[in-house]
Amino acid sequence: MRIPRTLIVGGIIVAAICILAAIGPWITPFEPDAFAVRERLLPPSTAHWFGTDEFGRDVFSRVLAGAHHSLLMGFGATALSLTIGVPLGMIAAFRRGWTEEVIMRGVDLMISIPPVLLGLLILAVTDPGLLKTMIAVGLVYVPIMTRVSRAVALGLLAEDFVEAARARGEGAYHILAREILPNAWPPLIVETSLRITFAILLGSALSFLGLGPQPPDSEWGLMIAESRPFISEAPWIGLAPGLCLCFLLISVNVVGEGLRDLLDPRLRGRGHG
């Protein structure tokens, strides 16, 4: 199997971003929350790479210190939707009958709410925060994961090796965990990698709307929202986190498409979904 070049390049970039985000809070050149009244709204310079904001805080330090939020929302939420969605989908495929009916009708129901709205609904009545936003985004994508893993499992359940396991008298758990799951990974990984982009997008959009981490936190969506009153005086306050977010999204997307090329060449050239 030849590894696509885009996957290698994208993988290195995403890994670098992850490392930067992980050590970010400790290597900021300035204190991300320190006010400096004399240094308000300074344009980018060699001292302040991304300029300073309305409180004189260094935007570069804030972007660096806030990077982990987007990653946590993207990867954490997707992990959550996997841990709930995959077992649900597999059980639906294995049990059929009314179990499947109940699970899949629930999925239909969740899918008939537009994603942003479902996120808003979950976050509307609780106090906002990083963890809650992550959970909300994760729940939004549970139904899609359930659908995908059910479809994958249905296909695999018709295979001979499952028949053999059944003939050996193996139980449901063994068949799902030992026979189906290891073979279901490639399509699930492809779906997961594409979901991460959407999860980052949705999480930062919810933060932008004020339903994520709260000030003085420096989540990127929140930073962009806070920069709006200063858009004409100091556009760098919003541009810096925005461009970083775009860079992150494009890198994750490149990895996703690379994985798709590697694991499922049949899917090449298909549209987004």
Q: What does the binding site for another protein look like in residue numbers (CB under 8 A)?
A: 108-109, 111-117, 120-126, 143-144, 147, 197, 201, 204-205, 208-211, 221, 224-225, 227-228, 231-232, 235, 238-239, 242, 245-246, 249-250, 253, 269-273
Which CA distances in Å does 45 have to 42, 50, 59, 188, 228?
8, 7, 11, 45, 21
In whole angstroms, the minimum distance from the beta carbon of 271 to another protein comes to 4
Instruction: Give the nearest distance from C-beta 90 to another protein in angstroms.
Output: 19
Rounded least distance, CB 242 to another protein, Å: 4
Measured CA distances, 205 to 44, 48, 89 (Å): 26, 27, 28
The one-letter amino acid at 70: S
CA dist 142 and 138 (Å) reads 6
Q: How far is the CB of 166 from another protein (least distance, A)?
A: 28
- Are 130 and 213 a contacting pair, CB within 8 Å? yes
- Rounded to whole angstroms, how far apart are CA atoms 110 and 7? 33
Q: Which residue has the tokens 């549970």?
A: 142
Q: Where would I find the H helices in 158-235? A: 160-167, 172-174, 181-208, 220-227
Task: State the DSSP code for 55.
Answer: T
Least distance in angstroms from the C-beta of 205 to another protein: 6
Q: Residue 22: CB partners within 8 Å, gap ≥ 6?
A: 68
Nearer to another protein, 79 or 120 (CB): 120
Cβ density class 100-137: b for 16+ within 10 Å, e for less: beebbeebeebbeeebeebbeebbeeeebebebbbbbb
- Which residue, 29 or 43, has its beta carbon nearer to another protein? 43
Whole-number minimum distance, CB 178 to another protein, in Å? 30
> To the nearest whole angstrom, how small is the minimum distance from the Cβ of residue 208 to another protein?
5
Q: Which two tokens stand for residue 65?
A: 């210190």
- Our CB check for another protein shows the closer of 30 and 133 to be 133
